[in-house]
Structure 1
């Protein structure tokens, strides 16, 4: 059975045209065969009618002349005028006896039809059927004029006519299919543009638009496509703007929380350490057994201060604009190595100069790295994390410099989210990373290895990031 799935539309329509044409040919051929058989039947019936009337005239002449010696029946005159190849003419008396019969010879210039066609034609049309007309004299039937045709003759004629039709059909059908396929290929040529437009939309190019087409149906599809692209671009723009606001709110909340922790919790810990030191001095003079408890309180306060300092560093990192992106990332990695104490192991490689980057660009890249390292260390259980930051110079043919950020780890990926990406549970996670990269005009890809490991790639054009920074400052 023909498999229609994934087949070419032009081929599919051309095959349907071929099938319909074949059916039409079969119907037309059947119609011609029926009309030919009807014509033969009518001709035989007319011959039988002429023969019957001739015999009636002969019988009337005999009776009028009272000449019993006259020959009856006499079909010579009729046979001489109507006889054709394969035609038979006879007179049959009331007793069923054939008194006279004439038959024309069969054609010799017509090829014999195949046995299968002959058997089918005879089953459908019964070409040897007789045409009978009564011969009446003085109101009484004295016999029948019978005409019939040799079945081989109409069968051979039908095969000859069908062969000519078949030859015409075998020539016309390929030409028709070729013309239909060419016409369809020309008419459906705009579908390539529609497919290219859809692929551009799928790749994230929301500026893709379709031109007007000659066909009204395709032109309507193009109008709907352009409207959909415009609405999608507007919706994504609104979503990006909302996400940017959420990111700004998150950063502001982090700064506010960092100030609150530093001002309130930090001062309280400093006061506890001071009270512990004072209590130790008093205990050293009055109650030596309390020295150990005072030292324990001081150590606990010191550990809490270190923990608070790490939390403040993550909530509000050092000013990237002042230190620079490279120095800030090196400090971030050093902090993680210091806290992790070798497990996991963080490594960083930086190539190129990042001193002229805008502050917002450096801050967004820093947050992306911070989010990725946090996920690798706390959620993926990685034992080794590799961070590479590279400033790639423009190609020789011209273009812009690009910032390439790559983070690889050997941890276990998280549970996939509905979009197929592993879910990063820290902050806004992967969504926040994507929006930060989108705000810089870059691209982000995240892949998980089998059975473990993950790779994060971020590519940001420097020119696009500068424009994004200008728009952010204007907003």
Structure 2
């Protein structure tokens, strides 16, 4: 696909060359028409001059009548009778006895292709025969013949000069148009860069005012669109933050209710089952079974409570909570080696941001185990001017679907966007890498 400027320059050049061809055609037509007029005018002038000045012989030699032989017609001034490039023959139409040609200026010999083209176009006119009107003779004609060499040379001289000048003007005009259009189309680059920034999600940048009215309207439209998108992005981020705040509040309340109500009931049921098992009655075996099932239910309850609201995060802080999470993964999936690296003041991260960071790390590890078959998963969190979270696994790159599909990754992106950060999931050598950056 060619750019706008090259296409514009080429079209201007083609238009100029077409103009040159049309002008050259007109020059050829005018040259042929002028040669035709010269032949007709020359034939008429010479015929009249010959008819007005006959020479008589015959009576002096015993003849019975005067015989005009026109001996002196070639003494007529050629410049006043015969046009340049025209030859005149005098005598019967089929057997002329005298010939005289007009003057012409020497010029450069035209190339063979131009001679061939002149013949095909019929550039040289047909001879023009005019009878000599006198009472002494009959069947005497003045025939004006255009000299092909002179006519073609004249046409080449006129056309060549025109083509050299016109082609030069066409090329110069195209180049000048290109230079002018470079300056005129410069705002296109500014508009394009602004639209590309919108595509990348940069809604804060604004385009400058432009001198050309149409471009300025486009710039204003792009700025208005960017402002609208920026406002919508801010509203979406605020709504997402509120959603996650409400979600975490609901999780905290649900965890508290489960712990206070369901947990106490399970504890009482387990105690009663233990008492029945120690009573020695026939129902002791059933009590032991009830106690076993109740223990399993309490373990499941603790796991769900940890998912709803990590207790270590509230009681101990972010660093111990992350270490506990990785330790749980090591216990659950012993075939995979889990690595954790924490850099910077991790425990100084604010509570709301710490919870989001914990959830993002949790989902990254879950995604690595669920969608790949890694033998090593490395989680690194660095706290500096911004928070950087990187989760890398060697579970082979996943190219079977669009990267970013799935509710887990969608939740990560929504959390990161709500916090004003960025997230990317990309294939790396031998696996995948999830990278999140969050502002402090």
Common fold: TM-score over 0.5: yes
Q: Which residue matches 1:34?
A: 29
Question: What are structure 2's unaligned runs of at least 5 residues?
Answer: 58-63
Q: Which residue matches 2:435?
A: 457
Q: Which residue matches 1:98?
A: 96
Q: Which residue matches 1:471?
A: none
| TM-fit CA distance, 1:136 | 4.2
Please state whether the residue corresponding to 2:236 is helix, strand or coil. Answer: helix
Q: Which stretch shows the higher mean deviation, 109-118 or 140-149?
A: 140-149
Q: CA 1:78–1:228 in structure 2 vs 1: closer, same or farther (change >3 Å)?
A: farther
| TM-fit CA distance, 1:271 | 3.1
Conservation of the 8 A alpha-carbon contact between 1:55 and 1:73 = no
Residues 160-202 of structure 1 show CA distances to partners (whole Å, capped at 9, x for unaligned) of 2233233324543443333222111111222222232223223
Q: How does 1:102-251 map to 2 (within 5 A)?
A: 102-104=100-102, 107=105, 109-127=106-124, 129-136=126-133, 142-169=139-166, 171-251=168-248
Is 1:402 matched with 2:386? yes
Q: Which residue matches 1:301?
A: 294
Query: Which of 14, 17, 22 is residue 22 of structure 1 equivalent to?
Result: 17
Identify which of structures 1 and 2 has the higher relative contact order when contacts are C-alpha pairs closer than 8 Å and 6+ apart.
2
Conservation of the 8 A alpha-carbon contact between 2:397 and 2:432 = yes
Is 1:447 matched with 2:429? no
CA distance in 2 between partners of 1:19 and 1:378 (Å) = 63
Q: CA 1:10–1:414 in structure 2 vs 1: closer, same or farther (change >3 Å)?
A: closer
Please state whether the residue corresponding to 1:167 is helix, strand or coil. Answer: helix
Residues 135-165 of structure 1 show CA distances to partners (whole Å, capped at 9, x for unaligned) of 4457x97443211121000111222223323
Is 1:316 matched with 2:309? yes
Q: CA 1:75–1:257 in structure 2 vs 1: closer, same or farther (change >3 Å)?
A: farther
CA distance in 2 between partners of 1:455 and 1:236 (Å) = 26
CA distance in 1 between partners of 2:125 and 2:24 (Å) = 21
Query: Which of 227, 234, 251 is residue 254 of structure 1 equivalent to?
Result: 251
Question: What are structure 1's unaligned runs of at least 5 residues?
Answer: 393-400, 463-475
CA distance in 1 between partners of 2:315 and 2:259 (Å) = 21
| TM-fit CA distance, 1:367 | 1.6
| TM-fit CA distance, 1:120 | 0.9
| TM-fit CA distance, 1:416 | 6.6
CA distance in 2 between partners of 1:298 and 1:439 (Å) = 45
Q: CA 1:77–1:46 in structure 2 vs 1: closer, same or farther (change >3 Å)?
A: farther
- TM-score under structure 1 length normalisation: 0.81
Please state whether the residue corresponding to 1:355 is helix, strand or coil. Answer: helix
Q: Which residue matches 2:345?
A: 353
Q: CA 1:379–1:47 in structure 2 vs 1: closer, same or farther (change >3 Å)?
A: closer
CA distance in 1 between partners of 2:201 and 2:404 (Å) = 21
Conservation of the 8 A alpha-carbon contact between 2:274 and 2:287 = yes
Q: How does 1:252-291 map to 2 (within 5 A)?
A: 252-282=249-279, 284=280, 286-287=281-282, 291=284
Q: How does 1:311-460 map to 2 (within 5 A)?
A: 311-318=304-311, 320=313, 323-338=316-331, 340=332, 342-392=334-384, 401-411=385-395, 420-425=402-407, 429-449=408-428, 453-460=431-438
Please state whether the residue corresponding to 1:423 is helix, strand or coil. Answer: coil
| TM-fit CA distance, 1:313 | 0.6
| TM-fit CA distance, 1:272 | 2.8
Residues 306-356 of structure 1 show CA distances to partners (whole Å, capped at 9, x for unaligned) of 121011011111273653222221222223334x05244432111211333
Residues 187-243 of structure 1 show CA distances to partners (whole Å, capped at 9, x for unaligned) of 122222223222322332201211121223322321221122122222322332333
Residues 416-473 of structure 1 show CA distances to partners (whole Å, capped at 9, x for unaligned) of 76xx323244xxx2222222222333221111346x63211112232xxxxxxxxxxx
CA distance in 2 between partners of 1:324 and 1:106 (Å) = 109
| TM-fit CA distance, 1:47 | 0.9
Residues 35-82 of structure 1 show CA distances to partners (whole Å, capped at 9, x for unaligned) of 1221221121111122233344458x99xxx97244348633556332
CA distance in 1 between partners of 2:11 and 2:209 (Å) = 29
Q: CA 1:293–1:386 in structure 2 vs 1: closer, same or farther (change >3 Å)?
A: farther
CA distance in 1 between partners of 2:413 and 2:172 (Å) = 56
CA distance in 2 between partners of 1:259 and 1:415 (Å) = 42
Q: CA 1:313–1:33 in structure 2 vs 1: closer, same or farther (change >3 Å)?
A: same
| TM-fit CA distance, 1:402 | 1.9
Q: Which residue matches 2:66?
A: 68
What is the number of residues matched between the two proteins?
432
